Amino acid sequence: MAAIRPTQFLSRIPFTIILVLVVAAVSWGGIANLQPFRQNLFEKIGERVGLLPWHMQRGELFRLAMSVFFARPGIELTLALVLVAVGVGTGERRVGTGKAILVFVGSHLAVLLTLTIALAFRNQRTEGMWENLLAVAFWVGPAAGYSGCLGVGCQKQPEPRRVALLSVIGGLLFARAVWAGHAYGIASVRHAPDLARLLAFGLGVGIGRRL
C-alpha cells in the first residue's frame, strides 16, 4: 500500500478542524505567556496583536495576520472555538474549502481595515485622543472570519430556511452589537468583536449572493 504524504493527509482534513486547532493552540499559548499581566490582560493582548491606525502607517502588517488566531481569554475563548466550528463549517460545507478560506481571510481583512479607517477618522475629529490610542487598541480574533463564512453559509441555504436564518442571526448580531456599544463604550476593545461579527456577517451574505 502506497504511503500517504503529509500534504495529502492535511488536504483531507477539513479547513474548519485545522482552524479550530490553530486558534486554540495560539490563544492558549499566548494567554499562558501573558499570565503575569493577568490584571491588565486585555491591554497587554492589545499591545501584542491589537491594531490602530498608526500601526498601519508604520507598516506593522503582521498584526493583521496575528490577531485572527488570538481569541479572547476565558469563556469567550470557548465560545469562539464553537463559533469557528459552526460558522466556518457551515460556509465550507456550502461553498467548498477553497472559497471558505477566501471568505474567511477576506472578511477578516475587510473588517479590520474598515474599523481602522473608522477609528482614524474618529480621532482626527476628536482633539487630544491620539496620545491615548493604545488604550483602545482593538483586535477581533477570528470573529470577522467565521461570521463572514456563516453569512455565506446562511445565504446558500434553501428557502424558507435562508430567510429565517438571516433574520434570526442578523437580528441577534445587531442586538448584541448595540448592547455591547452601550455596555462597554463604542471605543472599547470589548466592543470590537461584536461590531466585527455584524459587519462580516453582512459582507458574507453579500458574497454568498454572488457565489
Q: What is the pTM of this model?
A: 0.81
Rounded Cα distance, 90 and 155, in Å: 10
Angle 75-95/15-33 helices, nearest 10 degrees? 160
Amino acid residing at 100? A
Residue 166: CB atoms within 10 Å: 18
Name which residue leads in pLDDT, 18 or 190: 18
Mean pLDDT over each residue of the chain, to the nearest integer: 79
Task: Determine whether 13 is exposed, middle or buried from the number of CB atoms within 10 Å of its CB (0-12, 13-18, 19+).
Answer: exposed
At 152-175, the pLDDT tens digits run 999 999 988 999 999 999 999 999
The mean pLDDT of 102-108, rounded to a whole number, is 95
Rounded Cα distance, 90 and 84, in Å: 10
Highest mean pLDDT among 63-67, 81-85, 181-185: 81-85
Q: Are 163 and 142 in contact (CB under 8 A)?
A: no
Q: Residues 6 or more apart from 129 whose CB is under 8 A from it?
A: 122, 123
Q: Which residues pair with 51 in a beta bridge?
A: 138
Domains in the chain: ranges and CATH: 6-210 (1.20.1540.10)
N-to-C CA span, the chain:
39
Rounded Cα distance, 34 and 37, in Å: 6
Q: Are 144 and 207 in contact (CB under 8 A)?
A: no
Q: What is the pLDDT of residue 26?
A: 82
At 3-39, the pLDDT tens digits run 445 554 445 568 999 999 988 888 777 665 555 555 5
Q: Which three cell numbers stand for residue 45?
A: 493582548
Place 2 in a pLDDT band, splitting at 50, 70 and 90: very low
